[in-house]
Amino acid sequence: MDLSCTPEEEEFRGRLREWLAKVLPTLPAGPSPDDWPGRRAYDLGWQRMLYDAGYADVHWDASPTTRLIFLEETEKAGAPYVGAGFVGLLHAGPTIAAEGTAEQRARWLPPILRGEEVWCQGFSEPGAGSDLAALRTRAWRDGDDYVVSGSKIWTSHAEVADWCELLVRTDPDVPKHQGITWLAMPMDAEGITVRPLRTLAGSAEFAEVFLDEVRVPVGNRVGAENDGWRVTMVTLSFERGTAFVGEVVACRRVLGELACAARENGRWDDPVLRRRLGRLEAEFRALWRLTQWNVSEAEASGGVPGAGGSVFKLRYSQARQELYDTAADVLGPDAFDLDRPWVLDRLSALSYTIAAGTSQIQRNIVAERILGLPKGR
Amino acid sequence: MRFQLSADQRALRAGVRELLERRFGREALRAAVDTPGRLDRELWRALGDAGFFALRQPEADGGVGLGLPETVLAFEEAGRALLPGPLVATHLAAGTVPGAAGGETVVAAVDGELVEWLDAADVVLGDTGGAAPLRSLDPLTPLHRVPAARDGAATAPLADLLTAAEQLGTAVRVGELAVQHARTREQFGQPIGAFQAVKHLCADLLVRTETARVAVYAAAVTADPADIAAARLLADEAAVHGARDCLQVHGGMGFTWEADVHLHLKRAWVRARRGGGSTESEELLAARLVA
Ligand SMILES: Cc1cc2nc3c(=O)[nH]c(=O)nc-3n(C[C@H](O)[C@H](O)[C@H](O)COP(=O)(O)OP(=O)(O)OC[C@H]3O[C@@H](n4cnc5c(N)ncnc54)[C@H](O)[C@@H]3O)c2cc1C
């Protein structure tokens, strides 16, 4: 067991730190959370800066440890979050890198890296959430195109996306896991209607997407026809396995800030609150170790992150909610003022035990895939 | 970064597990339960011969010359096997109390208002004046009560870390027992492990264990007191909560003397109070936040 990095990795960290210290002060202030076009432009602008400085491909070309260092250092320095780049950089891109043809990689990966194209994820449907394989959006072959009709829901960033990683049913007559196909759908195609949905935090973070005979070229299919479920598992393992790394660092920073705030407003003298903060510190220390452990494991096996991502997601989503509930106790009456820090975060933390697979579904995965318990009948 | 067990570490862990299975299997465990207070000196010496107490002693002094990570792995196995005896106190006394390293001398220590294994020990560290025996909750750990500690209950961070490693072992073992039972016991025409309510108990048990594992291993690498405090908190939780959940999965069988589950839970409780319990660790970590 070794927690230290190689000299090359430390050299990377040093260079990155220096670069961040130089460029971050020059960045303009971010847009308001509701300004989606503004956020798109801002997030892509940041990605472009990373690209020009040679850091853009860290999400899928570098070693896992290097990527961990990248996420740790950018978060510590207070660099912009991947934001609108989330799906492209953290799971659609890695999926195409792992499963796409050379042509597909050449078509889609460089624009993601250069901060030119935004992706969204069209997996969930009104009747297919936890039971994702029950999806009904249909696709027919017509010449060199698939013709797609149906609807998707909870599609984050759909309003500002150029591409959608889309799951469609290409064969309704086989068991539900077998007739699914993974497509890259251009969001400006004819027949697509995006209707924003307002979240409980007040902003239009996700949307409904209606598809009415949308034509998607057959060449946009990643993996074989009807083999989409397997490709989907690759996508989900990236989404659950490694996409939250930077956030753990952010949570640890918030925890430190909370302790200082509590000292200033006198709540620190309450031993119950103080001990809760201490326990959260233990929790986030351990979550960071779990991240390092999973990354080391991925590095050793050289593959896609495994079901261990579900262990992390279960614990982290819970801890994040506890963190912001504790923040509310530190804030006192300010916890009801949407203009105070941490109040919106407390609301958005509520999604963590739902999005990317609910905690109940993660427990099923842990029990069946890691512990080998029988599937329920 | 290679935050994974090395091949040598894996081999060491397998070796300790094999030794304990051979010398302290299920029959020996139940025999120990039936003869409370008796410490198996032969087993103690065998542990000494295998280097259990001298793992961190320099080779020049006849020790094994390994580090904290290896020691933590050995203690995890001891916890998993429910090995009785003042293991932590004796291990920490190796190098200072003659005979401790080799397993000839059994060393116990006062910890707060309790002492584990006072009568069986050759040497007891700390003030034992006024010690009175308790009818111990844990049939595998005889306890004495001493008057309220004169100088607080602060223990060395190393004792906390080794305790955390033992707790991790307990969490691992009760997880194995729960899953085994959930796979084989049938109700309503299928294994109970096919029911979500049971599945989710087992999944949460594993999540707590794996989180505690990385915290304990990382603390063994850094030896940082805050990492150790975090490891203690998570390992105590994983052991105590895990043993309770394991008992639940066993149903009525879990409430019997005959099932081993209660032995794990009782031991987890006894260990969890060592060194002042969770209060100290939580306060230490809180202080770190504003340091
Ligand atoms: C903020 C946010 C962003 C999202 N972004 C996207 C996105 O960009 N793209 C996308 O495709 N999807 C997205 N989702 C959708 C998300 O993946 C689904 O909401 C999630 O998988 C749950 O599905 P559902 O909402 O249909 O709930 P349901 O499946 O209806 O679940 C409702 C409740 O029933 C429980 N339940 C259901 N089945 C079982 C079972 N077998 N065992 C035990 N309990 C069960 C669930 O745990 C939950 O508590 C997002 C969701 C959120 C909240």
Predicted local distance difference test score (pLDDT) of residue A238: 76
Q: In the predicted model, is pLDDT for residue B151 greater than 60?
A: no
Range A44-64 average pLDDT: 89
Which of A364, A341, A231, A79 has the alpha carbon at shortest distance from B197? Answer: A364
Rounded to the nearest 5 percent, the helix, strand and coil shares of chain A are 55, 15, 30
Q: What is the pLDDT of residue B1?
A: 84
Q: How far is B187 from chain A, CA to nearest CA, in Å? A: 13
A5, A13 Cβ separation under 8 angstroms: yes
Element (H, E) at A213: strand A206-217
Out of A255, A286, A367, closest to residue B203 by CB: A367
Percentage of chain B beyond pLDDT 70 is: 98
The number of C-alpha atoms within 13 Å of A4 and in the hemisphere containing its C-beta is 5
Q: What is the pLDDT of residue B118?
A: 97
Residues of chain A with Cβ-Cβ distance to B286 below 8 Å are 259, 274-275, 277-278, 281
Which of A90, A159, A354, A365 should be mutated for ligand 1, with most atoms under 8 A from CB? A354
Residue B153 has pLDDT above 70, yes or no: no
Other CB atoms within a 10 A radius of the CB of residue B156 amount to 14
Q: Which residue of B has its CA nearest to A252?
A: B289
The burial class, CB within 10 Å (0-12 / 13-18 / 19+), for A201 is: middle
Tokens 């209607």 correspond to: A193
Across the range B133-158, mean pLDDT stands at 84
Query: For chain A, how far is it from start to end, CA to CA, in angstroms?
Result: 41
Cα nearest neighbour of B194 on chain A? A376
pLDDT of residue B192: 97
For residue A157, the ligand 1 atom closest to its alpha carbon is: 8
Q: What is the pLDDT of residues A355-366, one digit of tens each?
A: 989 999 999 999
Percent of chain A scoring above 70 in pLDDT: 97
Q: pTM for the full model? A: 0.93
CA–CA separation, A362 vs A291, rounded Å?
17
Instruction: State in Å: Cα A155 to ligand 1 middle.
Output: 12
| Residue with token string 């994974």 | B4
DSSP state of A79: P
Does the beta-carbon distance from B200 to A2 stay under 8 Å?
A: no
Phi/psi at A373 (nearest 5 deg)? -75, 150
Whether the pLDDT of residue A250 is over 60: the answer is yes
Q: Ligand 1: residues within 6 Å at CB? A: A 120-124, 129-130, 154-156, 206, 351, 354-358, 360-361; B 196
**Do the Cβ atoms of B211 and A287 come within 8 Å?**
yes
The pLDDT value recorded for residue A62 is 78
Pairing of the two strands B107-111 and B123-125: parallel
Banded model confidence at residue B163, pLDDT cuts 50, 70, 90: very high
Strand ranges for A59-191 from DSSP E: 119-122, 138-142, 145-156, 163-169, 180-186
Cα gap B40→B77, rounded to integer Å: 18
| Cα–Cα nearest to A287, from B207, B238, B221 | B207
* pLDDT for A302: 67
List, for residues B41-83, the tens digit of each pLDDT value.
999 999 999 999 999 999 998 899 999 999 999 999 999 999 9
Closest partner CB to A278 (pick from B9, B217, B286): B286
Distance from residue B264's CA to the centre of ligand 1 (Å): 37
What are the structure tokens assigned to A278, written together?
């201490």
Percentage helix, strand, coil for chain B under 3-state DSSP, each rounded to 5: 60, 5, 30
DSSP secondary structure string, A286-331?
HHHHHHHHHHHHHHHHTS---THHHHHHHHHHHHHHHHHHHHHHHH
Residue located via tokens 């300004």:
A35
Can you tell me the distance from the alpha carbon of A350 to that of B163, in angstroms, rounded to the nearest whole number?
35
Out of A123-137, A301-315, B9-23, pick the least confident.
A301-315
Burial B190-221 (b: 16+ CB within 10 A, else e): ebbbbbeebbbbbbbbbbbbbbbbbbbbbbbb
What is the spatial distance between Cα B38 and Cα A205, in angstroms, rounded to a whole number? 65
Distance CA A102, CA A213 (A): 28
Tell me, in angstroms, the distance from the centre of ligand 1 to residue B216's CA. 33
pLDDT at site A60: 77
Across the A:B interface, residue pairs with CB atoms under 8 Å apart total: 175
The pLDDT of residue B152 is 47
pLDDT tens across A272-312, in order?
999 999 999 999 999 999 999 988 888 887 665 667 788 99
Examine the pLDDT at A132 and tell me if it is beyond 50. Answer: yes
User: pLDDT at residue A313 above 70?
Assistant: yes
**pLDDT reading at B155 higher than 90:** no
Q: Write out the DSSP string of B104-145.
A: SS-EEEEETTEEESTTT-SEEES--TT-EE---SSTTS-EEE
**DSSP sequence for B54-77:** STTS-GGGTS----HHHHHHHHHH
Q: Is the pLDDT of residue A183 over 90?
A: yes
Handedness of CA A292, A298, A299, A301 (dihedral sign): positive
Quote the pLDDT of residue A240: 67
Nearest CA to ligand 1 atom 16: A355
A362 CA distance to ligand 1 middle (Å): 11
Query: How far lies A342's CA from each of A251, A288, A349, B101, B169, in Å?
Result: 11, 21, 10, 53, 38
Residue whose entry in the numeric block shows the structure tokens 């005959």 = B258
Q: Give pLDDT tens digits for A81-103.
A: 888 999 999 889 989 999 999 99
B290:A315 CB<8 A:
no
User: Tokens at residue A372, please?
Assistant: 């080998």
Structural contact between residues B244 and A240, judged by C-beta atoms closer than 8 angstroms: no
Instruction: Please name the residues in contact with A175: beta carbons below 8 A apart, sequence gap of 6 or more.
Output: none
Q: Summarize the confidence of residues B269-278 as an average pLDDT.
A: 94
Mean of pLDDT over chain A? 93
Q: In this model, does residue B242 exceed pLDDT 90?
A: yes
Mean pLDDT within B135-155: 82
Dump pLDDT digits (tens) for A185-224.
Answer: 999 999 999 999 999 988 888 999 999 999 999 999 999 9
What CA–CA distance (Å, rounded) separates B129 from B147? 8
- Catalytic residues of A, by residue number, are 239
Give the Cα separation of B254 and B249 in Å (integer).
8
